[in-house]
Structures are given as C-alpha cells and as structure tokens.
Amino acid sequence: MSAIEIRQATVEDSGLILRFVTELAIYEKAENEVIATVADIKNSLFGPDSATQAVICNLNNEPIGFAVYFFNYSTWLGKHGLYLEDLYVSPEYRSVGAGKALLKHLASIALSKNCGRFEWSVLDWNEPAIQFYQSIGAKPQDEWVGYRLTGNALEEFANS
C-alpha cells in the first residue's frame, strides 16, 4: 500500500524545491521566468528573516510534490490567513491524492493557527485545477482583480 506523507521542508530541500518550481513553471508555460537559484531558495525560504514556509509531499519516501505558503492578514476578519503561493505534484503522481493531501495539510495548519482564510490563485486556463478546487468546496473570488508591480516597473515606481 502506498503511503503519502507531508513533512516540513528543510534547507537541504532547496534544490528539490527549485526543481519543483521549475517543473511548475514549465507546466504554466513560463519556464523562462524562473530566475531563482538554489542559493536564492536557501536564503529567502530558510533564511532568518523568512516569513515563508514549505512542505514536501512524499510517496513511499520519494518526493513527488511541494507547497509554499505564508501568512497574510485580513482586517475585515481581524485574523491571519494562510496564502498558498505554489502547489505542485509531478504529473505521474497526480492521481494518487497528493494534491488533496497537501491542501488538507495546509488547511489543518490554517486551523491550528486560527486563520480566518485559506487562499490561493489559479491560472484561468488551468481547468483541471479549477475543477479540483471546486470539488473540495473552494470558491473563486472573481470580484477581485489581482495587480502586480515587478521588475523595472517596481523600481521606477518606488524611486519616483
């Protein structure tokens, strides 16, 4: 019988996390946007000032996926929330329940930390993920439009 295990990531997982990030970017048709290095993952995810955490999903002691998350805050609820930045399961393991196990694990963390929300974003073309999220009771938040400042635009605005 196969056993799915979710464990907290450690600094030794930095290369594995970068591999999963790259695989996710390939799936999202954005491979060339990944500029992070193993050193970047080590410093940003496991450094002393990190506010971000990661978990690794293993099947029979083999890593098959990961999730990266952090805590945000809702002024309306007066509570923290858990924000899922990335969730990825290698394609050959997408039918074994790993994605659901990762989400349940994170939902449990959110409850244990008294979070009022558990949120994430999904690309509008990723129909398999959308159907999966809706099957577990998640609802799209289509009244909000995400905005992002990055790269030169971020620098120019901050320095203007």
Residue 117 has pLDDT above 90, yes or no: yes
Gyration radius (Cα) of the chain, Å:
16
Q: Judging by beta carbons within 10 Å of its beta carbon (0-12, 13-18, 19+), is residue 159 exposed, middle or buried? A: exposed
* Averaged pLDDT, 48-69: 97
The pLDDT-based confidence of 146 (bands split at 50, 70, 90) is confident
Tally: H helices and E strands in the chain = 5, 5
Non-local (6+) Cβ contacts of 53 within 8 A are 8, 9, 45, 68, 69, 70
Note the pLDDT of residue 44: 96
The DSSP symbol for 115 reads: -
Q: 81, exposed or middle or buried, with CB in 10 Å at 0-12, 13-18, 19+? A: middle
Residues assigned a catalytic role:
133
Mean pLDDT of 117-144: 93
pLDDT band for position 6 (cuts 50, 70, 90)? very high
Say how many Å lie between the first and final Cα of the chain, rounded.
60
Predicted confidence band at 109 (pLDDT cuts at 50, 70, 90)? very high
Tell me if residue 80 falls in helix, strand or coil: strand
At residue 144 the predicted structure's pLDDT band, cuts being 50, 70 and 90, is: confident
Does pLDDT of 1 surpass 80?
no
pLDDT in tens, 83-99: 999 999 999 999 999 99
Which pLDDT value is given to residue 145? Answer: 86
- Exposure letters 109-135 (e unless 16+ CB within 10 A, then b): bbeeeebeebebebeeeeeeeeebbee
Q: 68 pLDDT exceeds 70?
A: yes
